[in-house]
Structure 1
């Protein structure tokens, strides 16, 4: 079953954000756009490059009203230690959720059961708590924050403009499509 348009499942976890440990639940994601960004583990290799890329672009996500939640099966303590020792991770101002019970990774269907780690999964959740974008990437392939920003702009545009869709490589301000019988076979 596809997770697209499904409501996020309930969860409660402890996270590290701005030097503090905080509680985060599924309710925190509702009422705004959110990115839930799973990665395999702290103190690894591809993961810090992705999380640093998100940190470098965090202000752009915030301008779109989007909050970022990174998630790994490590604990919030591990997130703090990584934040305090890695120059790349030290840039992070968004929420780093610990999922040592593996519940959140299971909820989003990214858990690699045999190793207890999450796949590289990216989920964009709308203000109603429904998943609008799902992307799962192989462990050795890093993701791009700028491409994620482009996709978020597109999904936000479509949400705000019923009856319009964004074609491939659509950029903010470009022409969209209005599906209709007259458009069939003309693209």
Structure 2
């Protein structure tokens, strides 16, 4: 009983400490809003429909350090996402969610890589920390180290230092790169909100469908839903009034 009380006390103290750190490092929600001048987005080399910026670095894969580069994924789709820092609060929920469902991406010839400005040693320490203690536990996706910040800057997610002792270095950027190395989609979240695995999976499926069938996917499209022929888009687009006639027939 005494050991249980001590354990509960430690847990409560940890929660208080985390809350205090959140307060002093984040302040109000406005503290998350980063001025454009402090954000590398305006310098980004990542452009939709253009080749994704090359990257290479050391990653933790299956508990080991390995060199990894973008070209390793040639012939496959890649979900490449950035998160602010290891040992933080929202980040593990995202990383674990993608890791636990990576088999769904692999089933459609897609891989997932996570990246932050932490070192590979910090990545490994986080992985080796049990989930109940704020760690990641076993990972099924690589964690890439961007210690020089160059990858983050190339992809426009790097946040310039504003002089704080504890500072988040990246926004939550997610990039879908196709099997030819072309950047197809960019998602950029403010720091407090995590990303959706379901939506990312849906987007990959939609892009792959258009690649294969040459049709376009309307809003909210899911596998099995109706699509629109490129022929209709091209020809109806030349005659705006035809859209009304077309929908009247439906």
Which runs of at least 4 in structure 1 moved beyond 3 Å after TM superposition? 182-187
Say if 1:123 and 1:134, in contact at 8 Å, map to a contact too.
yes
Corresponding residue of 2:52: 8
Query: Is 2:199 the counterpart of 1:147?
Result: yes
Indicate the structure with greater strand content.
1
Corresponding residue of 1:177: 228
Say if 2:85 and 2:168, in contact at 8 Å, map to a contact too.
no
- Relative to the length of structure 1, the TM-score reads 0.93
CA distance in 2, matches of 1:109, 1:29: 21
CA distance in 1, matches of 2:204, 2:55: 24
Say if 2:117 and 2:145, in contact at 8 Å, map to a contact too.
yes
Aligned-residue offset at 1:59: 0.8
Query: Is 2:205 the counterpart of 1:167?
Result: no
Say if 1:32 and 1:67, in contact at 8 Å, map to a contact too.
yes
Q: Which has the higher contact order (CA 8 A, sep 6+)?
A: 1
RMSD after superposition: 1.7
Corresponding residue of 1:64: 108
2:140 pairs, out of 93, 97, 121, with 93
- Relative to the length of structure 2, the TM-score reads 0.70
Q: Where does structure 2 lack aligned partners over 5 or more consecutive residues?
A: 1-43, 162-166, 237-241
Indicate the structure with greater helix content.
2
Q: Where does structure 1 lack aligned partners over 5 or more consecutive residues?
A: none
Aligned-residue offset at 1:113: 1.8
CA distance in 2, matches of 1:116, 1:50: 16
Answer with 42-51 or 9-18: which moved more: 9-18
Q: What are the Cα deviations for residues 9-44 of structure 1, in whole angstroms up to 9, with x where unaligned?
A: 222200001011000112113221101010000000
Alignment coverage as a number of residue pairs: 186
